[in-house]
Amino acid sequence: MSDETISVSEETRAAPMDWGKGAPTAILQRVHKEGAKVPLFLGQTLVNSMRDVGYNDTTSAVCEHVDNALQWGAKHVHIYFNQRKDRDKTAVDVMVLDDGQGMSPNTLQVATAFGGSMVFENRKGIGRFGVGMKAAALSMSPVLEIYSWQEARAFYQMTLDVFEISQDKRNLIELPEPTFSDSLPTEVTRILTTPLVYPKNPNENQRLFADSIGDLYDNLGQHGTIVFMPDCDRLTYKTAKALVDNAVKDIARVYRRYIERGVKIFINNRPVEAFDPTFWRPSERYTKILAELEIEERRSRLVQAWERIEIPVQEDSTKTAPVSVRLYRLPIEEWKGAIAKRVLTNELQVYSSSIVSFMRADREVFAGTPTQLIGKWSNNNYWLRIQIDFPAELDEAMGVAMNKQGVRPKKYVYDAISAHIEKEVSATRQSIAQAAPERLKKSASGQLTEGERRANAADGLQPKSLPVPAPQTTEEKQALAENLRTLAMMVKRPGETEDAAFSRIEQSTYVTHFVHDEFWPFYNVEYRFGKVILTINSAHPFYEKLYKPLVELGSRPTAEAEAEDDDGDAVPCNSELVVMLQLVLLSLARAQSQLTSGAEDERGEAFKTLQKEWSEAMRVQMLTT
């Protein structure tokens, strides 16, 4: 080796490390310069790094503590977001209390260590790795305090403080033994015995864990655990209200099966009611809302259940584990027209992303809209639900991360599930798409649309008149009436009586009809018995992306029209736009009827070709924008 090479090596070894602010420089400098033994994990940097594990939000981090409570047999779990003033600044503490079996001093010490777990790689329950409690807590606060007991008033405490650990100069950081006390610190007891800032009106909206210190220790019982995270500096929201409202919504869904089985979960002294996004299992939370609205259909419809789909634990593996899948269809016919969109969006959460729910060990680990299972996105997808149950043996195949932040199924998993459910999902989407126009037509049963009424009124002002039947004899009049009655049967709306349909057709020159056919153009025109019949195809993107949204928006009551849309923006009432769109289509239909009436077949064929080509051009453009 040359002298030049040796010189470069020595210079490189002597070069300073480019450490950032807050780095544990003492331990790093000693290891770097003195050549000390280097542990596999540098606790000073590891603990700081664990603050950035990457939980989706505060609620998902809190769920790690709920998971632990349920893993160890808790029947009651209390979650607190304690907002308070600290030196003229708003501070929030997060705390989780459970009545699980508690931990002995030795177990508590092990549980505080990263990787310390009593159920490592045990796939029978929720936990597996022994990291979640610490990572979740530190993702919210720089300090974690744990209190656990297996006898009344025998509290053992462990603390992880990021600042203290980062300043530790030892190569090997060892956890101290738990400290013992027969009481809890004041900041903890205050949260458990005092009404919180939110919800307001505590006498009505909060059920305190204990009304006094004396009652507190009796209520804590013989065993349990408290995880306390003071002065949280990394929360999704700054206020207790936002934190509580978000946690209630998600935890009601994530732990719905546990709640249905009798586990009580409280958030800021209020019980959480289970919420089933499939709307299949009876739930007080939404059935009460539907009952108050006098909606008879109060649950979804089970389309089909696949109780056992075998999935390889790894691609090409002969070892498999079963997945169960259930497909549901929400009652769009009964709900969409009778329930205000605000209620559907907020209270019932129909317009949420919880279309496909993945359940692991009776705990939801993901809810979303994977197109691999539901197909290309459409607003109609809101009205179907898929629930997938899988065992922990498929964690790797399903892509379950250490912090249970969702799933990322391998392609072969999606392919295996889709092979079973694709046909029924497609048929369900089709039936929902058909239900939308039928609901709109049913709401106008026996009545003319505003566009039809205005077109009729303007017909006498048109420069050219349409040819109309002029029966002279009684027989001719009877024949025309029979023809109109037959026509009325063909264009009768759902829920409309035959007489109502006949009356509507008889009094109007213009008739708007709906079909749902993948192979039809977006519109069709016929002129029969003096009637301009405009048929709109609800299977075409024109209907889904333009006509239906405008009709629904324009048909809102005035008060609702001033409400907010899904993005929080003010929505004006666009009923006049709907009428103008109807008149555009009806005027097109009138002109086409006038030009083809009594003409040669070639002209009629030319218009059919135009309808077909225009429809296809529009389909391509609308589906690629």
pLDDT bin (cut points 50, 70, 90) of residue 577 is confident
pLDDT bin (cut points 50, 70, 90) of residue 571 is very low
Q: Are 219 and 210 in contact (CB under 8 A)?
A: yes
Q: What is the 3-state secondary structure (H, E, C) of 596-610?
A: HCCCCHHHHHHHHHH
For the cut 70, the answer to whether the pLDDT of residue 187 exceeds it is: yes
Structural domain boundaries, residue 91: 47-271
Of 247, 271, 295, which residue constitutes the final position of a domain? 271
Distance CA 138, CA 370 (A): 31
For the cut 90, the answer to whether the pLDDT of residue 141 exceeds it is: yes
Do both 449 and 553 map to the same domain?
yes
Average model confidence (pLDDT) across the chain: 84
Token pair, residue 190, equals 């205050």
Do both 430 and 448 map to the same domain?
no
Do both 211 and 154 map to the same domain?
yes
* Angle between helical axes of 450-458 and 575-596 (0-180°, round to 10): 50
Residue 319: half-sphere exposure toward Cβ, Cα within 13 Å = 5
Cis ω before 199 (30° cut-off from 0): yes
Helix (H) or strand (E) holding 305: strand 301-312
> 93 in a domain, yes or no?
yes
What is the C-alpha R_g of the chain? 33
Distance CA 118, CA 111 (A): 8
Handedness of CA 41, 43, 47, 48 (dihedral sign): negative
Least confident piece of the model among 137-141, 263-267, 334-338, 558-562: 558-562
pLDDT bin (cut points 50, 70, 90) of residue 440 is low
Do both 114 and 96 map to the same domain?
yes
For the cut 90, the answer to whether the pLDDT of residue 428 exceeds it is: yes
Distance CA 590, CA 578 (A): 18
pLDDT bin (cut points 50, 70, 90) of residue 190 is very high
Looking up residue 82, the CATH number of its domain turns out to be 3.30.565.10
Least confident piece of the model among 196-205, 283-292, 437-446, 485-494: 437-446
Angle, CA of 420, 423 and 428, to the nearest 5°: 120
Distance CA 324, CA 309 (A): 6
Q: What is the pLDDT of residue 168?
A: 67
pLDDT bin (cut points 50, 70, 90) of residue 578 is confident
Q: What is the pLDDT of residue 36?
A: 62
Least confident piece of the model among 23-32, 94-103, 374-383: 23-32
Of 419, 437, 455, which residue constitutes the final position of a domain? 437
Q: Would you tell me how many other CB atoms lie within 10 Å of the CB of residue 106? A: 11
pLDDT digits (tens, 9 = 90+) for 62-74: 999 999 999 999 9
For the cut 80, the answer to whether the pLDDT of residue 167 exceeds it is: no
- The three-state secondary structure class of 274 is coil
Distance CA 303, CA 424 (A): 8
Distance CA 472, CA 489 (A): 25
N-terminal to C-terminal alpha carbon distance within the chain:
65
Do both 88 and 158 map to the same domain?
yes
Read off the DSSP letter of residue 16: P
Q: Smallest Cα–Cα separation from 526: which of 505, 543, 546, 547? A: 505
Percent of the chain with pLDDT over 90: 49
> 355 in a domain, yes or no?
yes
> 32 in a domain, yes or no?
no
Least confident piece of the model among 110-124, 250-264, 461-475: 110-124
Q: What is the pLDDT of residue 594?
A: 87
DSSP notation for 214-265: HHHHHHH-S-EEEEEE-S-S--S-SSHHHHHHHHHHHHHHHTHHHHHTT-EE
Do both 328 and 357 map to the same domain?
yes
Least confident piece of the model among 393-402, 437-446, 515-524, 615-624: 437-446
Distance CA 97, CA 226 (A): 4
> 551 in a domain, yes or no?
yes
Q: What is the pLDDT of residue 128?
A: 52
pLDDT digits (tens, 9 = 90+) for 449-477: 888 888 988 888 888 888 888 888 888 88
> 577 in a domain, yes or no?
yes
| CB burial string 487-503: b at 16+ within 10 A, e below | bbeebbbeebeeebbbe
Do both 496 and 566 map to the same domain?
yes
Q: What is the pLDDT of residue 570?
A: 31
| pTM exceeding 0.75 | no
Do both 433 and 448 map to the same domain?
no
Question: How far, in whole angstroms, is CA 107 from its chain's centroid?
Answer: 37
How many domains is the chain built from? 3
For the cut 60, the answer to whether the pLDDT of residue 13 exceeds it is: no
Distance CA 329, CA 338 (A): 17
Do both 79 and 207 map to the same domain?
yes
> 18 in a domain, yes or no?
no
Do both 467 and 600 map to the same domain?
yes
> 97 in a domain, yes or no?
yes
Of 380, 411, 437, which residue constitutes the final position of a domain? 437
Q: What is the pLDDT of residue 78?
A: 98
Do both 467 and 371 map to the same domain?
no
Q: What is the pLDDT of residue 564?
A: 36
Q: In the predicted model, what is the mean pLDDT of residues 614-623?
A: 89
pLDDT bin (cut points 50, 70, 90) of residue 9 is very low
Token pair, residue 121, equals 């790689």
Q: Smallest Cα–Cα separation from 339: which of 285, 300, 296, 295? A: 295
Percent of the chain with pLDDT over 70: 81
> 340 in a domain, yes or no?
yes
For the cut 50, the answer to whether the pLDDT of residue 370 exceeds it is: yes
Angle, CA of 366, 368 and 373, to the nearest 5°: 105
Do both 233 and 324 map to the same domain?
no
Token pair, residue 510, equals 């213009």
In degrees to the nearest 10, what's the CA dihedral of 278, 279, 284, 285?
Answer: 70
